Amino acid sequence: MSTRPAYDNENIFAKILRGEMPAHKVYEDDRAFVFLDIFPRAPGHALVIPKAPARNIFDITPEDLAHVAKVAQTVAHAAIEAYDADGITVIQSNEKAGGQEVFHLHVHVIPRYEGQRLKPPASEMETPEVLAGQAAKLRTALGQ
């Protein structure tokens, strides 16, 4: 790809950051926002995003990327405790060919259990009630 596509202010995660779309918020600081994926690939699937308008790894500043990674690590520690998980999978995809569907950089933090495969992307929408309960557990583990 010779010319990189520009950041689109109307993407879903930009709308969540502006409060124009609902989200099951887990954590927020001055540079990052964490919420639950509504199509979880496993229970407790969280997304860590920068507040800066970055499309993906190609336009985010190294400082914002480092901060998102730091928050993803904190969320991974909290998630393994909150959900009594056996492991955590961290995924970050870039551009359509790289598996990216939403064009605001995000890091997936997915709790894993022995012998359980990930569901395919966007296979089943979780109910708001279940997501609210999972978000509350993760917030507690984060001391929020």
Asked if 63 interacts with ligand AMP (CB under 6 A), we say no
Q: How far is the CB of 23 from ligand AMP (least distance, A)?
A: 6
Q: Determine which residue in the list 5, 6, 87, 122 makes contact with ligand AMP, applying CB under 6 A.
A: 122
Burial grade of 30 (CB within 10 A; 0-12, 13-18, 19 or more) = exposed
Q: CB under 6 A: which stretch of 34-42, 61-69, 78-86, 112-120 binds ligand AMP?
A: 34-42
Q: Determine whether 106 is an active site residue.
A: yes
- Contact present, 28 and 34 (Cβ < 8 Å): yes
Please give the structure tokens belonging to residue 119: 């569901």
- Contact present, 121 and 100 (Cβ < 8 Å): no
Binding site for ligand AMP (CB under 6 A): 12, 21, 23, 37-39, 93, 99-102, 121-122
